[in-house]
Amino acid sequence: MPVISVCSPKGGVGKTTVVANLAYAFSRAGTKVIVVDFDPQNALRLYFGLPLNDDRGYVTTPHNDWASACINIDKNLYMLPFGKSTKEQRAALDEAMAEPDFFKNVQGGLFNNPNILVIADFAPGYTQALESIASVSDMQVVPLLADAASISLFSQLMSGGLMDGLVGGGLGFYIILNQIDNRIKLNREVQDFCNLNFKEQLLGMIHRDTSGIEAAGQQMAVFDYNKNSAAAFDIEIIAKKVAQKLGFVVNKGTMTINPLRKE
């Protein structure tokens, strides 16, 4: 069923924050969600209440049995942490993922389950995981900051030249402008630029909001930390747009078959 890849050429733009909060938004709306951490930093687990010393992860499980490494976080919410790894284990994982159709065949049960929404978090830039998942990815969500550097990335994204052309499968890519502060003129200008040139690709904006940082620090969803925060409202709107684009119904706990899915 739907696989959403949250990726970006740049680090520190909010990928992990977006993955965690989208997962909370969908799971509490009744959709079964698995979040998958493809970043060896292994930090996504910290947004889901796993203790720092919890080293579990799929990197050390047999490559055809990732399901056994899934951890149940909450009702409707599961996570597949990367795990603590050595250089050799990461190399072996990359080699396994480089097998043709690794995600279609080897991980088919997890990544092609019609009842589970997969939201995947990546390290910045090109990675083997991003290349391998491209064949099953239905949508790429690219968080960017509304700064000068991002403007050059927008045009690269549009021409398909970003991250070695790995962004653009399924429905294609959608941008989220993160850490927006409307008091900053450049932030307003970048929003105008995006609205003018990339309106179709602009999924939404997330305001700069300390609730997000505090929530992460306390291993909570931003909704639980402060449901009236600007970021919580923003994520809710983005989640609804994502569901609409992927063609599934939230709030009823059901998902329709995605008509764009290439079987």
Ligand X SMILES: Nc1ncnc2c1ncn2[C@@H]1O[C@H](COP(=O)(O)OP(=O)(O)OP(=O)(O)O)[C@@H](O)[C@H]1O
Interface with Mg ion (CB under 5 A): 15-16
One-letter amino acid at 187 equals: N
d(CA 197, CA 258): 28
By beta-carbon proximity to ligand X, the closer residue of 150 and 258 is: 150
Closest contact distance (angstroms) between CB of 14 and ligand X is 4
The item of ligand X, Mg ion, none sharing an interface with residue 213, based on CB under 5 to 8 Å by kind, is ligand X
The item of Mg ion, ligand X, none sharing an interface with residue 216, based on CB under 5 to 8 Å by kind, is ligand X
d(CA 60, CA 76): 25
Task: Record the tokens describing residue 210, joined without a space.
Answer: 């300390």
The item of Mg ion, ligand X, none sharing an interface with residue 85, based on CB under 5 to 8 Å by kind, is none
Nearest to 80 by CA among 56, 52, 114: 56
DSSP state, 35?
E
Question: Contact with ligand X (CB under 6 A): which of 27, 31, 140, 179?
Answer: 179
CB 5 within 8 A of CB 139: yes
Closest contact distance (angstroms) between CB of 211 and ligand X is 8
d(CA 102, CA 210): 39
By beta-carbon proximity to ligand X, the closer residue of 59 and 231 is: 231
By beta-carbon proximity to ligand X, the closer residue of 24 and 248 is: 24
By beta-carbon proximity to ligand X, the closer residue of 58 and 82 is: 82
Closest contact distance (angstroms) between CB of 120 and Mg ion is 11
Considering only the stretches 53-61, 102-110, 203-211, 237-245, report the one whose residues sit in contact with ligand X under the rule CB under 6 A.
Answer: 203-211
By beta-carbon proximity to Mg ion, the closer residue of 15 and 28 is: 15
CB 56 within 8 A of CB 71: yes
Residues in contact with ligand X, shown as a per-residue x/- string from 205 to 224 under the rule CB under 6 A: -x-xx--xx--x--------
Report how far apart, in Å, the C-alpha atoms of 213 and of each of 91, 184, 216 are: 32, 20, 5
d(CA 204, CA 123): 22
d(CA 150, CA 15): 15
Residues that bind ligand X (CB under 6 A): 11-17, 39, 124, 178-179, 206, 208-209, 212-213, 216, 231
